[in-house]
A and B are shown apart, each in its own frame.
Chain A
Amino acid sequence: MPAATDHLPPELLVRLQRTYRGHLAETRGLIAPMVDRAAARTAGSADYAALRHHAHKLGGSGASYGFGRLSQTGKALDELLRTEAGAADAIGRAAQDLLAAIDEALG
């Protein structure tokens, strides 16, 4: 998913991304243990519910701030968890992809 910020004035984008990255770092701290459990197939329903909440939010906001991969991976995980169509290993991989996209955005 391309970033939706191609025409945003660069100085404005930098300011917006600074605040967004602050929130992103908090989110990373919250979900990292859940991602580990999902990857190890030891996650419970509370983990999946929380992961879906954060994945949905990041999927809806990432590309607006210039982080297209964040939206892509967030939406992918949200969809796997929403439809309950994903096997545990697929969910674990998708959760790790989202965490990697967060790390990429945080630089």
Chain B
Amino acid sequence: MTAVLQHVLCIDDDSDILEIAQMALEDVGQLRVTCMNNGELAVEQAAGLKPDFILIDVMMPGADGPTVLKALRCQPGLSAVPVAFMTARIQEQEVRDYLDLGADGVISKPFDPMALPSEIRTIWETFHAGRH
């Protein structure tokens, strides 16, 4: 069965980021998007949403990005879903740390709304290419 990227779950406490990410992924990327502004809630509900890709902000109050990623990876339905962190801090060492935590990619903030869909598709394709 060929995997198809259709549904992206975006998790960020900043409504401005969620709004522009949703616009970019829906209007430009022709993807379906679910936005959540709370890490704990996302962990509870993500599996039921069946996303094909998950975007997580690193710095969030309560459960931060790495905590959310770890919790998602423990869920059977989500262990094989690619995850990318969004962060304003993209020093080389920090990116390595995020990948070591299990992220499949890192999206730099502020991002170009027109380029975001292709950035995500690249991470998604790399993830699935590595599984075959």
Q: Do A and B interact with each other, yes or no? A: yes
Contacts of B86 in A (CB 8 A): 60
Stretch at the interface among A1-9, A89-97, A99-107: A1-9
Do A61 and B113 contact each other (CB < 8 Å), given the known contacts A12-B23, A23-B16? no
Known A-B contacts A23-B15, A64-B20, A64-B109; A8 and B59 likewise in contact (beta carbons under 8 Å): no
Counting contact residues on chain B (CB < 8 A from A), the size range is 10 to 19
A15 and B109 CA atoms in complex are apart in Å by 21
Interface assignment of B110: CB less than 8 Å from any CB of chain A: yes
Q: A8-B113, A60-B110, A64-B111 are in contact. Are A19 and B19 (CB under 8 A)?
A: yes
Chain A residues near B113: list those with CB within 8 A. Answer: 4-5, 8, 64
- List the A side residues contacting B14 at CB < 8 Å: 57, 60-61
- Contact of A12 with B27 at beta-carbon distance under 8 Å, contacts A4-B113, A78-B88 already known: yes
- Report whether A61 and B114 are in contact in the complex, using a CB–CB cutoff of 8 Å: no
Indicate if B95 sits at the interface (CB-CB under 8 A).
Answer: no
Given known A4-B112, A7-B114, contact A59–B16 (CB-CB < 8 A): no
B17 at the A interface (CB under 8 A): yes
Interface residue count on the A side (C-beta < 8 Å): 22
Inter-chain contacts of B111 with A (CB < 8 A): 4, 64
**Nearest-Cβ distance from residue B15 to partner chain A, whole angstroms:** 7
**CB-defined contacts of B115 to chain A, threshold 8 Å:** 4
Residue of A1, A7, A61 near B20 (CB, 8 A) is: A61
Q: Which of B82-115 contact A (CB under 8 A)?
A: 86-88, 109-115
Least CB distance, A100 to chain B, in whole angstroms: 18
Task: Give B contacts to A, CB under 8 Å.
Answer: 14-17, 19-20, 23, 27, 59, 86-88, 109-115
Interface residues of A (CB under 8 A from B): 1, 4-5, 7-8, 12, 16, 19-20, 23, 56-57, 59-65, 71, 75, 78
Can you name 10 extra interface pairs (CB under 8 A) apart from A61-B109, A64-B110? A5-B113, A12-B23, A19-B16, A20-B19, A56-B88, A60-B87, A61-B17, A64-B112, A64-B113, A75-B88
